[in-house]
């Protein structure tokens, strides 16, 4: 027993003698290896699991518990249990028949590289090659001539059926490969439901509140992505990534995932046919409770044809007002936001403010911004619609 104790004591002394110095080196001159160094992104810590439910939350619960609180959510196997025709119908033969002669852009690498130029080819050509080549199709549904037929197979999650959220769906995007794909670490200026129609996806997340650490080294503001090698993170080059907690979610066929606005994420798709669709929708700080009072929310999904995806004036209005959507926005702050973000719309400042400020408080509430009759405003100010178009507002400005 004494010999064991003595050996333990000697080992402790040896460890103490090689304790690291303040410059990150050990006393013996060697360099310490940071956790996760030269390992895949997220390996530096034990990830938190993303909460899992088996049904899409109702819109009010979704807004209050997930959107408003910026919390990701997995909805397990939901597309296998409800109406979502694409899960069954969207085979390679289906694509050959319905959109085979249409041209698409395919990324020429399974590991994302934003410096590469996409290859243009027909969908038929892509289907002939994608199993054997490094090709990754990322395409908005609206680019297809047969977009209406494709949309017939895509149903919108219950969480977006009312409360004003139904007007904020901006686009539907297809992600299609033979697997083995890896995205860069990035974030998006949209809220996002990502649904897996075939294959498996693994996602590593970082809360947007850790923006400072994620963007400290090698981050591109233009495009919102990091230069870090997601397969082999150099913790000496990206030291602050070692400070961030991460979340992990693994999705299988039929699963959907809510990715909150501006959360950083990195996506891996293991080998095998991989097909997903995502619903990009605009962020909002307001939920119209009364809009849901007489809505039937029993169905987990509804046909996308019932929604004005990418075509609603409310979407343009939400983008226009986003920079001054606060609990209360003073007239001075409103005018500053208009002047800074939308200089061509300055002529609207005073008159439009009077129409929005219903209670005459000289400040705008979120409720006032969202309760406005947009059609009436556009009729009174026909130049407003032209101004929004002229400003070329995109989600990058949100």
DSSP line for 107-130: ES-SB--TTSPPEEEEHHHHHHHT
In which order are the strands placed within the sheet that holds 73-75?
52-53, 73-75, 256-259, 191-198, 274-281, 169-177, 136-140, 103-107, 119-122
CB of 216 within 8 A of CB of 307? no
| pLDDT value at residue 14 | 37
CB of 309 within 8 A of CB of 173? no
* Burial of residue 13, with CB atoms counted within 10 A of its CB: 0-12 exposed, 13-18 middle, 19 or more buried: exposed
| pLDDT value at residue 328 | 79
CB of 257 within 8 A of CB of 193? yes
| pLDDT value at residue 3 | 45
Report residues of the chain scoring pLDDT below 50: 1-23, 391-398
**SS3 label, residue 6:** helix
CB of 79 within 8 A of CB of 108? no
* Paired tokens of 318: 């939400």
CA distances from 42 to 144, 170, 207, 308, 318 (A): 36, 30, 13, 38, 34
- Name 19's Cβ contacts closer than 8 Å, sequence gap at least 6: 26, 27
| pLDDT value at residue 11 | 45
- Give CA–CA dist 40/230, Å, rounded: 5
Backbone angles phi, psi at 77, to 5 degrees: 60, 15
| pLDDT value at residue 167 | 87
The alpha-helical segments, DSSP class H, found in the chain are 2-17, 59-62, 78-81, 86-89, 92-99, 123-129, 147-151, 211-214, 313-321, 331-341, 349-356, 366-370, 374-380, 382-391
- CA torsion angle 137 251 220 143 (round to 10): 30
**Farthest-apart Cα atoms in the chain, separation:** 92
CB of 134 within 8 A of CB of 109? yes
- Name 186's Cβ contacts closer than 8 Å, sequence gap at least 6: 223, 224, 225, 226, 264, 265, 266
């Amino acid at each position: 027993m004494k010999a064991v104790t003595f050996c333990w004591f000697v080992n402790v002394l040896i460890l103490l003698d090689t304790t690291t110095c303040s410059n990150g080196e050990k006393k013996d001159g060697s360099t310490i290896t940071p956790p996760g160094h030269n390992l895949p992104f997220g390996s530096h810590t034990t990830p938190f699991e993303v909460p899992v439910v088996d049904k899409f939350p109702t819109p009010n619960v979704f807004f209050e518990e997930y959107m408003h609180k910026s919390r990701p959510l997995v909805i397990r196997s939901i597309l296998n249990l409800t109406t979502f025709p694409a899960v069954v119908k969207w085979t390679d033969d289906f694509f050959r028949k319905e959109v085979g002669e249409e041209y698409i852009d395919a990324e020429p690498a399974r590991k994302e590289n934003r410096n590469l130029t996409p290859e243009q080819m027909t969908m038929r050509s892509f289907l002939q090659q994608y199993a054997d080549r490094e090709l990754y199709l990322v395409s908005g549904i609206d680019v297809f001539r047969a977009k209406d037929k494709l949309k017939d197979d895509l149903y919108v999650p219950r969480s977006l059926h009312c409360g004003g959220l139904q007007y904020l769906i901006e686009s539907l995007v297809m992600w299609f490969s033979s697997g083995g794909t890896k995205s860069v670490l990035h974030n998006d200026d949209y809220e996002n439901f990502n649904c897996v129609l075939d294959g498996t996806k693994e996602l590593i997340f970082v809360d947007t509140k850790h923006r400072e650490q994620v963007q400290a080294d090698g981050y591109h503001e233009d495009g919102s992505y990091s230069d870090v090698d997601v397969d082999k993170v150099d913790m000496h080059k990206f030291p602050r990534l070692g400070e961030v907690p991460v979340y992990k979610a693994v999705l299988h066929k039929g699963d959907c995932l809510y990715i909150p606005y501006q959360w950083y994420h990195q996506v891996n798709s293991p080998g095998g046919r991989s097909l997903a669709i995502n619903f990009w929708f605009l962020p909002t700080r307001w939920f119209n409770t009364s809009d849901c009072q007489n809505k039937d929310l029993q169905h987990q999904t509804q046909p996308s044809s019932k929604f004005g995806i990418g075509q609603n004036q409310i979407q343009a209005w939400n983008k226009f007002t986003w920079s001054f959507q606060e609990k209360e926005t003073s007239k001075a702050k409103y005018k500053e936001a208009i002047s800074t973000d939308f200089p061509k719309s300055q002529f609207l400042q005073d008159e439009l403010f009077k129409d929005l400020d219903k209670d005459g408080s000289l400040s705008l509430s979120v409720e006032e911004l969202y309760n406005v009759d947009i059609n009436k405003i556009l009729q009174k100010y026909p130049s407003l619609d032209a101004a929004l178009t002229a400003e070329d507002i995109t989600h990058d400005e949100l």
